Chain A
């Protein structure tokens, strides 16, 4: 192998030693090639220095203290999420029911009041228009105002 080819194995050689796939050939080449030997030495120094970079270490007790968090996985939040979802569905259902009920009540009031002033029951569209008008105010006052017109 020439220098170019040897250099593709230098990192593996410096990192893995005898486990390098071309260990014998690289060793032979380095013995007679100062340039490749220098490069192999530089790589070895980089790897050695890299391994010296410290990482904080903790006593086993430290890790032991953090273990209980896993023994009881986040059941409460999951249940809480379910409860909140259920509560939201119920609240929406209650609101819809209330609004439907309100609308029906308003329709009844209007129909009754119209009947007291006229013998003919107005068409549904007319009542619907009146319902829209009196949604946010007193149905009797709104009806009287309309009848006066």
Chain B
């Protein structure tokens, strides 16, 4: 769908934008927080903020870029809160487990995919954000740079670091060499 960039945006514009982007942005939130309920909350909060500021949007960037920023900020807030909570609640050495549910298993997950999924959690928030936007959302480096307010060179370098970090950790575990 073409992005709505008219000066007089209305509810109909918002609705069509929501229909196209809600599922996509849910994917981003889910990959950031790895929990369905929390990701749905993040999407809902983000679109509510977008709706309330719908007519204030200046159009300096694409609507999708603006919304990616909102959803990532909510995800960061959530991760910060969760980390604080974890530190307060969990005994030392607790590794943590993420929620799984039957509906999630729509595609059969390979063992390597599982391991990559686990390794993504060892990335920094910035690395994770760029990895998610590049690998799953397939945004260009330029688009990612706009979303995260960074330079293209920095985005490329961070993406490189995050992929190499995952690869090296998997290699150390022997995962890649076992032909999984």
Residue numbers of A with Cβ under 8 A of B are: 8, 11-12, 14-15, 39, 42-43, 45-47, 49-58, 60, 63-64, 66-67, 69-71, 73-74
Q: Top 10 closest A-B pairs, CB basis?
A: A49-B112, A52-B113, A70-B51, A49-B113, A54-B107, A11-B160, A49-B116, A11-B163, A50-B116, A55-B27
Chain A CB within 8 A of B135 CB: yes
Let me know if A63 and B31 touch, CB within 8 A. no
Query: What 5 new A-B contacts, CB under 8 Å, besides A50-B166, A71-B15?
Result: A42-B176, A45-B112, A47-B163, A52-B110, A56-B106
What does DSSP make chain A's interface, helix, strand, loop or mixed? helix
- A49-B18 contact in complex given A42-B167, A42-B176, C-beta closer than 8 Å: no
Let me know if A71 and B11 touch, CB within 8 A. yes
Chain A CB within 8 A of B96 CB: no
- Chain A nearest CB: distance from B92 CB in Å? 29
Q: With contacts defined as CB atoms under 8 Å apart, how many contacts are there between chain A and chain B in the complex?
A: 99
Let me know if B110 and A49 touch, CB within 8 A. yes
A-B contacts, 16 of them at CB < 8 A, read: A11-B159, A42-B167, A46-B176, A47-B135, A50-B135, A50-B136, A51-B135, A51-B136, A52-B109, A55-B104, A56-B30, A56-B36, A67-B15, A70-B47, A73-B51, A73-B52
Let me know if B30 and A55 touch, CB within 8 A. yes
Chain A CB within 8 A of B9 CB: no
Chain A neighbourhood of B19, CB < 8 A:
60, 63-64, 67
- Chain A nearest CB: distance from B172 CB in Å? 12
Chain A CB within 8 A of B101 CB: yes
Let me know if A57 and B15 touch, CB within 8 A. no
Chain A CB within 8 A of B44 CB: yes
Chain A CB within 8 A of B72 CB: no
Let me know if A12 and B156 touch, CB within 8 A. yes
- Chain B nearest CB: distance from A45 CB in Å? 7
Bound complex: CA of A64 vs CA of B163, how far in Å?
36
Residues in B12-71 with C-beta less than 8 Å from chain A? 14-15, 18-19, 22-23, 26-27, 30-31, 36, 44, 47-48, 51-52
Chain B neighbourhood of A58, CB < 8 A:
23, 26
Chain A CB within 8 A of B148 CB: no
Let me know if B107 and A52 touch, CB within 8 A. yes
